[in-house]
Chains A and B, each alone.
Chain A
């Protein structure tokens, strides 16, 4: 017998049930629904009575038939959570429960299905999952881990990222003691202990603590730790915080600092002047060498200044124009030879380069200047050029000497050959005698010439000449003594104004020769019209001691004979004793001692010779 539920009496009660409820018979047909059910699933409040449950919810799984059939047999089972679309098309989540429907005789005549709307709960859960996922992704990307510490039950939680940073396995369960122990002994461990203490006892949050940990596998790592207390109803219940792996950044920044230090050490210790100028040609960096060159101890005294404050206006203007050109054309100036004059007038030769500094858009934001001080090199170059000049002058002198030697020897040999030729064919005995006399004369001349040449050669080849400091007065007295007969015969007067302690650096023998020659010449070429007076004086000037020998003699036409004055066998006076060798020899001796001779003369007035003795010898 089929039991038909009596609904009419109770239907009104059922309709008022606050939760959506449906009564179905054993054929799954909806017998009665509460209004709340109807309002959710039926448009216009139309009842779905006598429709099959599966017709109303076509998406319901057929598994449910089994669940419901079990229910009909008195074994209700949970039906779970299912999503349905309500009459307005909204997605709703319901938890379905069922219970057997008994008639008054305790026979199961169907099932009662009740729904509880858990849409909000489901949505919240979804949101939570999403958030968790997001958080996880975020931690994975940023490597920022989380941790939570529950003060009440002394529990510490690490997220997987935090665990990964510590390089502990996923199942590792940390506690507050070993967590602190992971921090490197010393500053890091002390700092984190202090921070935790402050947070727990004084409620102070901490952040951006850059510390080092030693991971479980023994690696040193830089981390950034932060933490803050959390409260429940005004009572501190725990701490939460972040834990970030910043090893690479810290290492990179340490490396950057190291590189900057290295660069600075390099720049400072380069033996060249280095500076950086901005677009206004203000110096923004200078190295030690540049500081030293500019005569300051602290670069700050120079930074921000332009060339206009460091150099004379004209050169600053030139330098600024060059800076602008380099920054505009982006073409560097490399290895240009310059002479820098500072405000104090000191000059320095530089090999200087200016290289534009480009930003990432390829526009110059300044320039770097590198200057190598080549003053010493330049000086050496000058010295070298001087030496070359001296060598070339000496070469010329040597060639000239060779011609003199050749000329003199040839002229004597020509005389010999001529005279011998005459002798051969001469018949006259008297003439023969005459020729032989001349041959003797020629032979004597040759000997004298050879003596002279020898003397010249010995002066020029004796490189080991010993220069000593000699009292000039002593030597002047010696020379006057030796020449006393000649001087008194010539009725000449020697006036010696040389200071008693005046000393010169010279080869003693050369000094004798120089004094004898110049005094002899001064007296020899006296003006017969007046009494001969020779005045000797001396002074020091620069690197030289200067001996001046002035006479009131005939004088020499320097315009005519200046070039030949010290030439060999050049005489300018019609004088029987003039041999043209004395001045030539003394000049050679003076040259050999790195000295020089200057002469001033006026015909009819006299001549003044200045002999320069080099004090640097």
Chain B
């Protein structure tokens, strides 16, 4: 298993963040796991990384329903960053709204990053599968 440098979790629900952290750290090896409570904080941090030539996290776990800036708004802003590497973005949601499915397909088609759509809850097997460098 290839070692992963950095993982970022963007979710406003503390329990989900706790669970993801626990699952990831027990399934894969990585340098660091960062978490942000909404899209706005996350995009500000990542933009800052990019501007200062810091390493962009290789894998991002992204919630959709968040205050201030939701998952889709984050994605839109993130895709505007001219990042050369292929980042893996795992959308994690409990939504079964077909509109969210459509949004995902839309973003997937217009980006060179790997974007996946995952329903909560996520088990250990899924975590192992989606926590690989694309």
Seen from chain A, the residues whose Cβ lies within 8 Å of a Cβ on chain B are 403, 406-408, 410-411, 413-415, 417-419, 421-422, 438, 441-442, 569-574, 578, 580
A410 touches B67 (CB 8 A): no
B13-21, B27-35, B54-62: which one contacts chain A?
Answer: B13-21
Q: List 6 A-B contacts (CB under 8 A).
A: A406-B96, A414-B121, A415-B16, A418-B122, A574-B40, A574-B67
* A50 CA / B117 CA spacing, docked (Å): 159
Q: What residues of chain B lie closer than 8 Å to A578, measured between beta carbons?
A: 67
Residue of B nearest to A560 (CB): B73
Pick the contact of A419 from B15, B40, B94, B120 — CB < 8 Å? B15
A422 touches B95 (CB 8 A): no
A407 touches B15 (CB 8 A): no
A403-B96, A441-B15 are known; give 10 further A-B pairs, CB within 8 A.
A407-B96, A410-B95, A414-B120, A415-B120, A415-B121, A418-B15, A419-B15, A422-B22, A438-B15, A580-B67
Q: Is B65 an interface residue (CB 8 A)?
A: yes
Q: Is B53 an interface residue (CB 8 A)?
A: no
Residue of B nearest to A561 (CB): B68
Q: What residues of chain A lie closer than 8 Å to B14, measured between beta carbons?
A: 438, 441
Q: What residues of chain B lie closer than 8 Å to A419, measured between beta carbons?
A: 15, 19
Q: What residues of chain A lie closer than 8 Å to B40, measured between beta carbons?
A: 574
Residue of B nearest to A439 (CB): B15
A572 touches B67 (CB 8 A): yes
A414 touches B67 (CB 8 A): no
With most chain A CB atoms within 10 A of its CB, the pick from B22, B40, B123 is B22
Q: Is B97 an interface residue (CB 8 A)?
A: yes
* A355 CA / B19 CA spacing, docked (Å): 81
Interface residue tally of chain B, by bracket? Answer: 20 to 34
Residue of A nearest to B38 (CB): A574
Q: What residues of chain B lie closer than 8 Å to A438, measured between beta carbons?
A: 14-15, 18
Seen from chain B, the residues whose Cβ lies within 8 Å of a Cβ on chain A are 13-16, 18-19, 22-23, 38, 40, 65, 67-68, 93-97, 120-123
Q: What residues of chain B lie closer than 8 Å to A571, measured between beta carbons?
A: 67-68
Rounded to whole Å, the gap between the CB of B124 and the closest CB of chain A is 8
Rounded to whole Å, the gap between the CB of B81 and the closest CB of chain A is 19
Rounded to whole Å, the gap between the CB of B97 and the closest CB of chain A is 4
Give me the 7 closest cross-chain CB pairs, A-B, nearest first.
A414-B120, A410-B94, A571-B67, A414-B121, A411-B94, A403-B97, A418-B19
* A414 CA / B122 CA spacing, docked (Å): 8
Query: What total of A-B pairs shows CB separation below 8 Å?
Result: 67
Q: What residues of chain B lie closer than 8 Å to A572, measured between beta carbons?
A: 67-68
Residue of B nearest to A403 (CB): B97
A422 touches B19 (CB 8 A): yes
* A580 CA / B93 CA spacing, docked (Å): 18
* A44 CA / B8 CA spacing, docked (Å): 164
* A403 CA / B65 CA spacing, docked (Å): 12
* A394 CA / B97 CA spacing, docked (Å): 17
Q: What residues of chain A lie closer than 8 Å to B96, measured between beta carbons?
A: 403, 406-407, 410
Q: What residues of chain A lie closer than 8 Å to B94, measured between beta carbons?
A: 406-408, 410-411, 414
* A263 CA / B92 CA spacing, docked (Å): 80
* A442 CA / B13 CA spacing, docked (Å): 10
Residue of A nearest to B96 (CB): A406
Residue of A nearest to B23 (CB): A418
Rounded to whole Å, the gap between the CB of A560 and the closest CB of chain B is 8
Q: What residues of chain B lie closer than 8 Å to A408, measured between beta carbons?
A: 94
* A399 CA / B15 CA spacing, docked (Å): 27
Q: What residues of chain B lie closer than 8 Å to A406, measured between beta carbons?
A: 94-97
Pick the contact of A407 from B18, B38, B65, B67 — CB < 8 Å? B65
Q: What residues of chain A lie closer than 8 Å to B38, measured between beta carbons?
A: 574
* A199 CA / B68 CA spacing, docked (Å): 116
Q: What residues of chain A lie closer than 8 Å to B121, measured between beta carbons?
A: 413-415, 417-418, 421
* A418 CA / B94 CA spacing, docked (Å): 13
* A441 CA / B93 CA spacing, docked (Å): 19
A411 touches B120 (CB 8 A): yes
Q: What residues of chain B lie closer than 8 Å to A442, measured between beta carbons?
A: 15
Q: What residues of chain A lie closer than 8 Å to B120, measured between beta carbons?
A: 410-411, 414-415, 418
* A442 CA / B123 CA spacing, docked (Å): 18
Residue of A nearest to B95 (CB): A407
* A580 CA / B38 CA spacing, docked (Å): 14
Q: What residues of chain A lie closer than 8 Å to B65, measured between beta carbons?
A: 407, 569
Q: What residues of chain B lie closer than 8 Å to A573, measured between beta carbons?
A: 68
Given A403-B95, A574-B40, answer yes or no on A415-B67 (Cβ-Cβ < 8 Å).
no
Q: What residues of chain A lie closer than 8 Å to B19, measured between beta carbons?
A: 415, 418-419, 422
